Chains A and B, each alone.
Chain A
């Protein structure tokens, strides 16, 4: 966009529309004065962004316009756009005030932008850090962003700051993350937290003159021991850690006392007890400053998680032992009768032949002198218990008596997705999807809350009636679909195959006799033509389908499922409905991996009209479901009765544009979308959403069952 600069009046005219000045009483002159001095390209850029923000909030747009010139002086257009979008995202998630803060605190954003440019962002690195942490031996660890920007662990989860920007290069900042992960892992693995378990050790740490510096000293001494462990186990990373210390300038001169204890703590057999012994040998001033990756100790958090886990694992382990004992007894007696085990049955840990330094190596258990085979989940339990205690405590080794433990008690309580509106609103068990705002030309992040719900099957006579009603149609449909089925095809004149193609051979032989070159294509070969189609039917369950539309939908699904059985195509059926972005409900009628059986038929029979049609979020959900399926053709067929429509702002152009964007995302992932609708007006909006050739309007609802199968056949051949 080039040309002459816009005049003050022209800018004011644009702003007047953006801000709706007649109603909002915002004064357009003020920001216009600032912008009139900008180049034409910048003017266009600002006006365009202001329009987009005004679609969200006019006050926010006004503030943006006021600060835009200053922003352009500090950042390039790309970053200014990011700044504006951060503000609108904040508006979506937190409201107007936090959004305004982003706009007003421009300097802050410029500063963070710099950090973002060279820093490592946890959200981006977690996809590498998590498998890294899980690849290290021992308990399977989780990684979570720390709300207080500190680095620590509760022995199950590693908490890391959202951004690390201590060093100039992002590569080095990533290394800090990596070192932190390994360091926290070493804390768990080498029993740093055994101080919480053993009262005697605990006493040593929390002596009467306990101070914050005391814990600091403990952490510093532990660092020596743990780094020695890392040096033995992960020498490559240890080198990187030393390099990090150099770069952050944390290499300080060490006192003689410190060197003395270092010698003791780097010993391969050093334990946390040794660290505690050394506490008194060292003066507070001798402690080197904590290095960039070592984080902090939060023993209260450790305590809570540890106590809970130890109880839980003990219960699980002892129950697992009793199961093992029962299995062993059954094998001995060949008795199918349920045997019970008394809690005196004690297992023994088989002594190790080789001395192994790695504590997480799985041990072997014996019962009555016989070695027990350990299932995978028991091995994991053993690993976790040994990480905590360094061994399996003797009281763990008694098999649980009948009814001694109720394991359900230890399971995490999960909120039921069905109870979302009961008591306090929660988003547990839900998936969050973005939604496209066409005016803003940007997504609302994690905007729609989608839950997958089950439909209970009803066993009435609906299915039989339908099959009876469409007996004739079904017969002809079956016939048509049988023809489609991939069958063995005999390919003739092949270079290589199962049998000889006599015709070709005779010909070739004749050729050879008459002096011509003989062909080598003299075989026949059986070739299986396989259909590799996966299809999801997305069924509109909005309130407007009540009555005969709903009947027709259900009948169509029954007929279609019957004929798809013949074809062997993988198919799934999901219903969709909801009310507002906070309650989008996807009803699972048939998943890909479920067989079409009586239960599924019962579920189809129980499809009932619900609320509204917020389509975009469901298309995105189906796209995600498709990503788990491997098929060369992926087809998403929507059965609908009208425009996308929801209780809130999701109607008209907004709904259509979001649906279009969702379909575009699906297309990008290789999914073909098709819409079958009974809305006579659909020709006005469907071509825009699905494309000119990707929809059918069926004027007579009664025709739906026939048409759906027919359209499917057409689409997949």
Chain B
């Protein structure tokens, strides 16, 4: 089995990713980075956390290694494992080890999705020790000054199973993200998709309607990302109501009554 080696240098971001700052999050991130503090991004899905990370990686001129966490993610997936090559076992670094060695920004997306034992691996990296113990090879790697650890999580999932442990969360500088205000959100959509401002405003209005329904039938309202998806479809000449249905409503729920209600809302808007 040949695993694809991650080359940290490939992760340099050359073009500036579009990111519209809402508060002083860029300033805080830069300060934390300078002080070698790990960062926790909190916020609902699709509000721009990952885009913010890309933007910061570009700004700080560091490679960005993103790991999307899932419930089967083991510690060796992060740290590394032995593989067989040419009749011998060879150690291959995982993404976290690579970031530590190369001074990259390691971004663990949706950290709560990972198994609890996995999240503990990052603890020695997230305090003033800044080291990564690698039990299997009997090594400890010390992080270079450029290394930065960032994790994200969505406090909106009100599941007991998916909460961040205190021992983990109390190691991080937390940045809170939320959907931008209506005018800014419309601007972001225009910038990302080149649709006209009026349609963007209507899309944002629709998003607010779905966000109002959070708790009365919907678990989450439409994210900025979903709005961008819908806007891209509209840009390709798909009718707005259809775009809202396929890119937003269907993504939010499977409940047929709720889907109908959302279709009625979008057909009222366009």
Interface residues in chain A, defined as those with a beta carbon under 8 Å from any beta carbon in chain B: 127-132, 134-137, 140, 178, 182, 233-237, 240, 354, 361, 495-496, 498-500, 505, 509, 512, 520, 522, 526
Contacts and interface: CB of A to CB of B under 8 A. Distances in A.
Nearest to A361: B182
B102 interface: no
A633 B74 CA distance: 27
B89 to A, nearest CB: 7
Contact of A235 (B217, B261, B269): B269
B171 interface: no
Contact of B209 (A130, A135, A505, A520): A135
Contacts of B267: 236-237, 240
A509 B87 contact: yes
A352 to B, nearest CB: 12
Given A134-B213, A137-B208, A236-B269, A500 B261 contact: no
Nearest to B212: A135
Contacts of B1: 495-496, 520
Contacts of A499: 76, 81-82
Interface in B124-151: none
Given A140-B216, A236-B268, A498-B76, A131 B87 contact: no
B79 to A, nearest CB: 11
A132 B217 CA distance: 11
Interface in B78-113: 81-82, 84, 87, 89
A522 B268 CA distance: 59
Nearest to B265: A135
A294 B103 CA distance: 66
Decide if the interface of chain A is mainly helix, strand, loop or mixed: helix
Contacts of A128: 257, 260-261, 264
A132 B89 contact: no
A158 B245 CA distance: 27
B262 interface: yes
Nearest to A237: B268
Given A237-B268, A498-B74, 15 more contacts: A127-B257, A128-B261, A130-B261, A131-B213, A131-B262, A135-B209, A135-B261, A135-B262, A137-B209, A236-B241, A236-B266, A236-B270, A499-B81, A512-B87, A520-B1
A237 B202 CA distance: 13
B84 A522 contact: yes
B120 interface: no
Interface size class of B (residues with CB under 8 A): 20 to 34
Nearest to B83: A500
B255 to A, nearest CB: 9
6 contacts: A127-B261, A237-B267, A237-B269, A499-B76, A505-B84, A526-B74
Nearest to B89: A500
B226 to A, nearest CB: 15
- The 4 A-B residue pairs with the shortest CB-CB distance, nearest first, are A237-B268, A131-B261, A135-B209, A127-B257
Contacts of B241: 236
Interface string B231-270: 0000000000100000000000000011011101111111
A134 B216 contact: yes
Most interface-central of B74, B209, B210, B261 (chain A CB within 10 A): B261
Contacts of A509: 87
A137 B261 contact: no
Nearest to A140: B216
B60 interface: no
Contacts of A136: 209, 212, 265
B161 to A, nearest CB: 11
Contact of B82 (A235, A496, A500): A500
Contacts of A135: 209-210, 212-213, 261-262, 265
B257 A131 contact: yes
Nearest to A376: B215
A505 B85 CA distance: 12
A513 to B, nearest CB: 9
Nearest to B77: A498
Interface string B1-15: 100000000000000
B183 interface: yes
A137 B205 CA distance: 9
B268 A134 contact: no
A137 B265 contact: no
Centre residue among A131, A134, A234, A505 by max chain B CB count within 10 A = A131
Contacts of B213: 131, 134-135
A131 B82 CA distance: 54
Nearest to B202: A235
A156 B267 CA distance: 25
Contacts of B205: 233
Contacts of B264: 128, 132, 178
A512 B85 CA distance: 13
Interface in B2-52: none
A62 to B, nearest CB: 42
Contact of B217 (A131, A137, A234): A131
A361 B205 CA distance: 11
Interface string B195-233: 000000000010011101100110000000000000000
Nearest to B260: A128
B55 to A, nearest CB: 25
Contacts of A495: 1
Contacts of B266: 236
Contacts of A512: 87
B261 A132 contact: yes
B2 to A, nearest CB: 10
Contacts of B81: 498-499
B70 to A, nearest CB: 13
Contacts of A233: 205
B270 A235 contact: yes
B87 A234 contact: no
B262 A234 contact: no
B216 A131 contact: yes
A237 B81 CA distance: 59
A512 B76 CA distance: 27
A128 to B, nearest CB: 4
A367 B200 CA distance: 35
A136 B205 CA distance: 9
B208 A132 contact: no
A182 B270 CA distance: 15
Contact of A182 (B208, B212, B260, B268): B268
Contacts of A240: 267-268
